[in-house]
Structure 1
Amino acid sequence: MDGTASPSTVESRKRSTAKDLLAGSAGGVLQVFIGQPFDIVKVRMQTAPPGTYSGMMQCAGGILKNEGPLAFYKGTLSPLVGIGACVSIQFGALEYMKRIFQAQNLRAGTGGPEGKTFNPTQLIIAGASAGIANSVVSGPVEHIRIRLQTQSATKPLYNGPMDAIKKIWAEKGIAGLYKGQVATLWREGPGYASYFLAYELLMQREMAAKGIRREEIAASHTILYGAIAGYALWFTIYPCDVIKSRMQTDGFTPATGQKYTSTFDCVRKVIANEGISGFRKGLIPTLIRSPFANGATFVGFELAMRVLNSY
């Protein structure tokens, strides 16, 4: 044997990857539709000067009064396409790593009869890999979304996602699109390690306790576990998310209102000007949004996988 996979094995792997990506896209689309109104409030609160908003309700009320109800879906086209792709990549990378660890478990005689019971270290590595892979797309996608969400309603700089991409590319090239990427990487790696660790451990626990297969877990439990995973994500990385948002709404040069020269300069200035509380701005709408958006993400993925696996 030369170790080369047979044509049937290669084809099976391709089918599995395609299913992972499609099911991830379904989860991503649900996440955007449910979470977008909360997300714009979070971003406005994270990036506004100190004292702009007394709380979430004032921010949301101001958006509704001054910009109308459709403003809560400002910049949705970018995340609808982009976050769908991001979540697709997340689950594609996660499931790919899980298959690698499954093969290792089977060789070592661990992980149960099918090798699918993963230990925490394996899940942390798989989740972090998913986050890092996702960051390649999530960085520019969220950059464009945040600029659209925070621009003036009366004098918008960008007419939409494509116009924003074109203008940023013309001014700063690919580096401009990836502004804030250092903070994005710090967020995605640890964040998704926590996210998928929490979710997969809860799923494994129920399967082991009840002696059932993954597809037999009730959708309501999937939503609950996704909600818990969402809280694990945000409690791990929220300060990084604040810094990312600040970097991605910052000017590109001093002439265009640049406040921060680097990620660490941003951290230093937030602490100096606002204290530790600066890293909590926008947390309440995030925590309200999280169980709905993340529960929808996981139930969308799991149900889509069940449908795809039935063919």
Structure 2
Amino acid sequence: MQIEKAGVFQGPIDCLLKTVKNEGVLGLYKGMASPLVGIAAVNSLLFWAYSYGKTLQTGSADVTPTLRQIAVAGAGAGIVNSVLASPVELLKVRLQVQYNTASEANTVFRGPIPLARYLIQQFGFRGIAWGFWATVAREIPAYAAFYAGFEFTKRRFADALTNGDASKLGTLPLMLSGSAGGVSLWAVSYPLDVIKSRVQNGKAPPKGLGYIAATAREIAAEQGIKGFFRGFSPTVIRSIPAAGVTFATYELVMRALGSNSK
């Protein structure tokens, strides 16, 4: 929905039904291999950079950072994370929509490795770094909001349930806090994600940095402000369980590691 021009899909349900009708149920899983293989590395790098960013500002892992410091650490983690997230998402995006472009390219890629090999052969390093700066532009506000939204909600739960001790929060409050972080992420960055997806599905890797603004103008001219929010509702709905589970797992694992180190 982010990439198609207006009129192809009338909404998320129409997109779902047309995908299943034209490509079968497995069409809903196109491009899954790239994030499935890369997500562990991407999240590991992201959370490491976030933890490092907090410690860099506070001077100690034992000092509780302010929400501003949380947001700054998240923004820095987003920049670092782009190194892995950009190629992973590039391959995912192009695999997901190749049923539209296969006739033009006369090639259907069966997975991320053949596609990555093709892009490198055609464009060199630029082929796999396609849309990197668009990814960076999205990741900075996205992860500032992601971590700040989580921490803000977690601290409110702690004030209400455990006398301010966030380490005693149970799984459900942690999951709800994580969901708040996921919704916050997309609320501030979704238009930039649309731009990134459009860029990464272009005919050739862009040069310079002006392509981000140029793509934004193109979307606005075609579809107006609505063009920057196509596909927003399924993305937010997906983020609620995904971010909830991610943050709850992270917090519980860190607690377990801390207990075992004592």
TM-score scaled by length of structure 1: 0.75
SS at match of 1:270: helix
Deviation for aligned residue 1:235: 0.9
Query: What is residue 279 of structure 1 aligned with on the other side?
Result: 228
Deviations 1:173-210 (A, max 9, x none): 11111111221111001110011011112223333552
SS at match of 2:99: coil
Task: Name the CA distance, whole Å, in 2 between partners of 1:263 and 1:97.
Answer: 27
| Equivalent in 61, 67, 71 of residue 23 of structure 2 | 67
Task: Name the CA distance, whole Å, in 1 between partners of 2:20 and 2:229.
Answer: 23
Deviations 1:116-152 (A, max 9, x none): 2x21221111110111110111011100011111111
Task: Name the CA distance, whole Å, in 2 between partners of 1:198 and 1:244.
Answer: 23
- 1:95-244 matches, within 5 Å, as 95-103=51-59, 114-116=62-64, 118-152=65-99, 157-209=108-160, 210-211=162-163, 213-244=165-196
- When Rg is computed on C-alpha atoms for both structures, the one with the higher figure is 1
Q: Which moved more, 1:291-300 or 1:47-56?
A: 291-300
Query: What is residue 19 of structure 1 aligned with on the other side?
Result: none
- Contact map agreement 2:145 2:184 (CA 8 A) in 1: yes
Task: Name the CA distance, whole Å, in 2 between partners of 1:212 and 1:238.
Answer: 32
Query: What is residue 14 of structure 2 aligned with on the other side?
Result: 58
Deviation for aligned residue 1:53: 0.5
Deviations 1:158-186 (A, max 9, x none): 12111011000001111111111221111
SS at match of 1:46: coil
**Number of residue-to-residue matches in the alignment:** 252
Percentage identity across paired residues of the two chains: 37
- Contact map agreement 2:175 2:248 (CA 8 A) in 1: yes
Task: Name the CA distance, whole Å, in 2 between partners of 1:120 and 1:310.
Answer: 26
Deviation for aligned residue 1:236: 0.2
Deviation for aligned residue 1:85: 1.3
Query: What is residue 269 of structure 1 aligned with on the other side?
Result: 218
Deviations 1:249-303 (A, max 9, x none): 111179xxxxxx8222211111112111111111121122121111121122223
Query: What is residue 257 of structure 1 aligned with on the other side?
Result: none
Task: Name the CA distance, whole Å, in 1 between partners of 2:195 and 2:189.
Answer: 10
CA 207–98 in structure 1, closer or farther in 2 if over 3 Å, else same = farther
- Contact map agreement 2:67 2:151 (CA 8 A) in 1: no
Q: Gaps spanning 5+ residues in structure 2: where?
A: none
1:305 aligns with 2:218: no
Task: Name the CA distance, whole Å, in 2 between partners of 1:157 and 1:289.
Answer: 28
Task: Name the CA distance, whole Å, in 1 between partners of 2:150 and 2:167.
Answer: 15
| Equivalent in 295, 303, 307 of residue 244 of structure 2 | 295
TM-score scaled by length of structure 2: 0.89
Task: Name the CA distance, whole Å, in 1 between partners of 2:250 and 2:205.
Answer: 41
Task: Name the CA distance, whole Å, in 2 between partners of 1:222 and 1:69.
Answer: 33
- Report 1 or 2 for greater relative contact order, CA contacts < 8 Å, sequence distance ≥ 6: 1
Q: Which amino acid aligns with 2:11?
A: G
Query: What is residue 39 of structure 2 aligned with on the other side?
Result: 83
Q: Which amino acid aligns with 1:52?
A: V
- Contact map agreement 2:154 2:166 (CA 8 A) in 1: yes
Deviations 1:17-71 (A, max 9, x none): xxxxxxxxxxxxxxxxxxxxxxxxxxxx011121001111010111122222222
1:251 aligns with 2:192: no
- Contact map agreement 2:130 2:205 (CA 8 A) in 1: no
